[in-house]
Structure 1
Amino acid sequence: MPLTIPVELYEKLAEKLGKETALEVVKVFEETQKQLEDKVVEETKKRKIELRDELRKELATKEDILLTRQEIELVRQEIETVRQELKGEIETLRQEVKGEIKVLKMWIIVLGILMVALNQNSLELILRIIFGNIR
């Protein structure tokens, strides 16, 4: 938006300095104005760039949000993988414990039979333990 000098001011300059000098003063004035406008535009652009850079450092961009969502999805997938692995390991342990319990039951039965076979009085003791004091 160029700023022009009023006609009255030009006429007074022309009266005092002459038309050519007044014209030169007006041209200098217009050039100075143009330089100032260019400087303002340049500084405005520079400030915008600085502000944008500062905001990018402080605020999350769309790319940051997208990356964060991708990372969250990866973590969810890893958690699900670990969950499935743990389920498998727990099931394996259950089967092993069931097998060990079966073995222990068999040993208890075998030891009971051996105890009764080797000591007849132990049968009476076992019956008392199972059925209480019968006498």
Structure 2
Amino acid sequence: MPLAIPVELYEKLAEKLGKETALEVVKVFEETQKQLEDKTVEETKKRKIELRDELRKELATKEDILLTRQEIELVRQEIETVRQELKGEIEALRQEVKGEINALRQEVKGEIKVLKMWIIVLGILMVALNQNSLELIMKIIFGAVK
């Protein structure tokens, strides 16, 4: 917005320099003012662009934030995949351990049956080979009952 020269100033210039010279001075003043305004606008635009560029270097843009969110989501998906894989592996390990425990139980049950048979066989052999042992066994069984 051009700055107008006060009428009093124009009149004093016209008195001292004449109307034509005063009019030329006013025109030169207005042109200079217009050039200064144009240069100021140009410099302001230039500074705005420089400031914007600097801010873009320093601050995160919406694109940066979006990319970061996408990367975070990918990491979350990878973590969930690993979690599911670990759950599967843990369950497989549990099943394997259960199978081994059951196999050991069956083996121990078989061994216990064999031991019971050996105890019975040894008891029969002891009684058959030693008549006094039968009396001792009877005393132990019936003596403890009384």
User: Is TM (by shorter chain) over 0.5?
Assistant: yes
Give the number of equivalent residue pairs.
135
Q: How does 1:77-116 map to 2 (within 5 A)?
A: 77-93=77-93
TM superposition score normalised by structure 1:
0.66
Output the CA distance in 2 between the equivalents of 1:9 and 1:82. 85
TM superposition score normalised by structure 2:
0.61
In the superposition, relative to structure 1, how do residues 18 and 77 fare at CA in structure 2: closer, same or farther (>3 Å)?
A: same
| Cα-Cα RMSD | 7.8
Deviation of 1:9 (Å): 1.1
Q: Tell me, which stretches of 5 or more residues in structure 1 are unaligned?
A: none
Maintained 8 Å contact 1:128/1:134: no
Percent of pairs identical after alignment? 94
Deviation of 1:75 (Å): 0.4
Deviations 1:70-119 (A, max 9, x none): 11001000111111122222333399999999999999999999999999
Partner of residue 130, structure 1: 141
In the superposition, relative to structure 1, how do residues 90 and 14 fare at CA in structure 2: closer, same or farther (>3 Å)?
A: same
Output the CA distance in 2 between the equivalents of 1:127 and 1:7. 147
SS in 2 for 1:133: helix
In the superposition, relative to structure 1, how do residues 101 and 65 fare at CA in structure 2: closer, same or farther (>3 Å)?
A: farther
Is the aligned partner of 1:54 residue 2:65?
no
Output the CA distance in 2 between the equivalents of 1:129 and 1:46. 115
Structure 1 range deviating more: 36-45 or 95-104: 95-104
Output the CA distance in 2 between the equivalents of 1:50 and 1:40. 15
Q: Tell me, which stretches of 5 or more residues in structure 2 are unaligned?
A: 94-104
Choose 1 or 2 for highest CA Rg. 2
Is the aligned partner of 1:69 residue 2:104?
no
Output the CA distance in 2 between the equivalents of 1:33 and 1:129. 132
Structure 1 range deviating more: 15-24 or 113-122: 113-122
Maintained 8 Å contact 1:116/1:123: yes
